Amino acid sequence: MKNLFFILITFLLLTSCSNKEKKMLCKRWQVYDVIFMNEKEATVQSDTMQGNMHKVTETILKDILMKNIYEFNSDGTYKTGNAAASATGKWELHGKAIKFILDSDKEEKEKEIPFEKLENDTLIMLMKNDQTSFQMKLILIPMN
């Protein structure tokens, strides 16, 4: 009987934490800052005419990412993107990660992005080797 009671209490604690995180996540977020974590290890194509393209690539990438919006809805759908392109689909929380399930006519694509912090006023997502070899933290704040 004690084991059943312990399991019930544990389940209630886990689901209440998850519901609290879901409520905090459900809003429109804008990228406030981008922090590059592996600048020295990241590989960037070098051009002998232009020298090391590291800083140029970081600047361009940061500029693009700073225009992104992430909108998480309570019905489990999301929309992300900027003026140039957007994506929609479903989202789920898996521990300390957000699972994005992309809507696509061709196939269903899934991607889990870990987060370092989720509070009412801050979301920090850890982007690792997505389209470049840069690893970065996206710091997001709620939109007014």
- Digitized pLDDT (tens) for each residue of the chain, 144 residues in all: 555 544 544 444 444 346 899 999 999 999 999 998 865 555 544 444 455 666 777 788 888 888 999 999 999 999 999 888 899 999 999 999 999 998 776 666 898 999 999 999 999 999 875 555 678 899 999 997
Cβ(38)–Cβ(60) below 8 Å: no
Query: Which pLDDT score, from 0 to 100, does residue 40 have?
Result: 56
CA distance 69 to 76: 16
SS3 category, 13 = helix
Query: Which pLDDT score, from 0 to 100, does residue 29 have?
Result: 97
Q: Look up residue 133 and give its DSSP letter.
A: S
b vs e for 52-61, b when ≥16 Cβ sit within 10 Å of the residue's Cβ? eebeebbeeb
CA distance 91 to 98: 7
Query: Which pLDDT score, from 0 to 100, does residue 104 have?
Result: 72
Query: Which pLDDT score, from 0 to 100, does residue 139 have?
Result: 95
Cβ(68)–Cβ(30) below 8 Å: yes
| Domains identified in the chain and CATH numbers | 2-142 (2.40.128.280)
Query: Which pLDDT score, from 0 to 100, does residue 54 have?
Result: 67
What is the enclosing helix (H) or strand (E) of 15? helix 2-25
pTM of the model: 0.74
Cβ(29)–Cβ(65) below 8 Å: no
